[in-house]
Amino acid sequence: MIKRQSSIKQKLVIAYTVVLLMMSAVIFWDWNSFTNVEEMVGSGEIVSDLFDTTLEIKRFEKNFFLYGKEEDYTELLSYLEKAERLLIENSRDFTLFAKHNVIIELRAHINNYRELLTSLSVSSRDSDGVKKKLREVGRDIVDAAENISNTEKAVMRDTLKAARHTVFTSILVFMVAGFAGSVIFYTRLLRPLKILEGHMERVSRGEFSPVPIDTRDREIASLNSAFNRMLHELEERKGYIVRSEKLASLGTLLFGVAHELNNPLSNISSSCQILIEEIEEEGIEEKKELLRQIEGETERARNIVASLLGYSRSSAKEEVSLRTLVNETIHFIKGEIPTKVKLEVKIPSDITVFVDKQKLQQAFLNLIKNAIEAISGEGRVSIAANMNRKDGKVEIAVSDTGSGMSEDMIQNIFNPFFTTKGEKKGYGLGLFIVHNIIREHGGAIIVESEPGYGTTFRIELFPKET
């Protein structure tokens, strides 16, 4: 079944749209909640004003009954009118906190109170029956207003609590949505890129395995496909360059062999010419000596050719003398060693290693050549070895007195295609191949260097099969 691919751009547009709609809904929700609170506050002020007015009615009622002043009577009527006006003009606000029949009953008490107060003139203020009735009706007015005020306070508390819950829920929704969005964003976008980054690190170490990213995002899938094509091309180019590097090493060997063969062949030629000139003369012993020289030089040429044939084919691992192996490797590049560079070999004759001879010779060939090329004038290349008595490993050091390397170069020296010689002097695979050969033998190689103080490559190998 073919997966339908989508675009990251489309997903981002959808995500932004969803977030915008969520924000709009939450803002609208919170706005309504705070609007309700605002309305409640306004209505609460009116209820408080009514309750305060009823308290003033009771106060002036008491003053009027005590002192009988006309102004107290006038103020009492004034507050009665105010209370009635508040109930009439703000009936909608009062219905938020009291039932309609309660409001009608309160208005009836106010009207009843006015009628009683009107019937009680200043001259008849000592009418105890009317006063008692007035006090009872006034108390009913205050009780009704107080009940409405208490209800208003309770409703206000509930409204504020609901608003607080609304804000908390909004924050919680945003947090959950943000966390879910982050998880989706990481799973769908950042995680594939993290996998790709990890594979890039592996590529820098010379591993060219394809990247298995399962994604429906068109951009990530396209990037993954392009990266895998690049890996395939790198793998092919790596094989080609490794073959080129081997051919270059083989060319160096052939140059050394030609140089080495030239000496015995010259001696053979000289001995034959002398033998031809003296063939009819006496001195049979001298002639035998010349023939022995011819035989010896012929054997020497045969050995050189045998070394070349041994290098040209891969062989199984065997236990070989380390000093002999190194000396044979040096013979291949004798003609390339400058006269100002001194080559020293300090390897005991009893040290052996269990290796593929041809591959280890290739590794030493690359190390010795690099050491020679690192020396611009006079200098020394040293190859030393010893047996570690603690773990039984053979420790080999290839040192030079060349220009040395910086810390950044040391960190990348074994990476493929990394070179300090310039584009025309190498592919940057020599030390990468050395590292792989040593690793194939179960050994280890490290480099110690400092600018201006030369470089040392330290190798550990096993003396026998493990």
Indicate if the pLDDT at residue 45 is higher than 80.
yes
Q: What percentage of the chain has pLDDT greater than the value 90?
A: 8
pLDDT digits (tens, 9 = 90+) for 224-283: 677 677 766 766 666 656 655 655 555 555 555 555 566 666 667 666 766 666 665 566
Q: Do 275 and 373 fall into the same domain?
A: no
Helices 70-89 and 8-67: crossing angle in degrees, nearest 10, is: 160
Q: What percentage of the chain has pLDDT greater than the value 70?
A: 65
Written as six digits, the tokens of 256 are: 């050394």
pLDDT digits (tens, 9 = 90+) for 396-408: 999 998 888 888 8
Written as six digits, the tokens of 411 are: 């960190």
The domain containing residue 65 runs over which residues?
A: 8-194
> What CATH number does residue 396 fall under?
3.30.565.10
Q: What is the predicted pLDDT for the residue at 86?
A: 87
- Would 24 be classed as within a structural domain? yes
Q: 351-373 b/e with 16+ CB inside 10 Å = b? A: bbbbbbbebbbbbbbbbbbbbbb
46 neighbors 93 (Cβ within 8 angstroms): yes
Beta-ladder partners of 385: 396
**Rounded CA separation 282/419 (Å):** 64
Q: Do 172 and 279 fall into the same domain?
A: no
Indicate if the pLDDT at residue 130 is higher than 70.
yes
Average pLDDT over residues 340-356: 90
Q: What is the predicted pLDDT for the residue at 384?
A: 94
Q: Do 98 and 75 fall into the same domain?
A: yes
50 neighbors 106 (Cβ within 8 angstroms): no
pLDDT digits (tens, 9 = 90+) for 292-329: 667 666 766 666 666 555 555 556 788 889 999 999 88
Indicate if the pLDDT at residue 207 is higher than 50.
yes
Beta-ladder partners of 318: 355
Q: Do 173 and 242 fall into the same domain?
A: no
* Arithmetic mean of pLDDT over the chain: 77
pLDDT digits (tens, 9 = 90+) for 81-91: 998 898 888 88
> What CATH number does residue 95 fall under?
1.20.120.1730
**Rounded CA separation 399/422 (Å):** 22
- Would 108 be classed as within a structural domain? yes
414 class by beta-carbon count within 10 Å (0-12 exposed, 13-18 middle, 19+ buried): buried
pLDDT digits (tens, 9 = 90+) for 374-385: 888 888 999 999
- Using pLDDT thresholds of 50, 70 and 90, give the confidence band for residue 411: confident
CA distances from 343 to 169, 178, 334, 399 (A): 81, 68, 10, 10
Q: What is the predicted pLDDT for the residue at 287?
A: 67
Sign of CA dihedral 163, 164, 165, 168: positive
In this structure, the number of other CB atoms found within 10 A of the CB of residue 224 comes to: 21
Q: Do 99 and 181 fall into the same domain?
A: yes
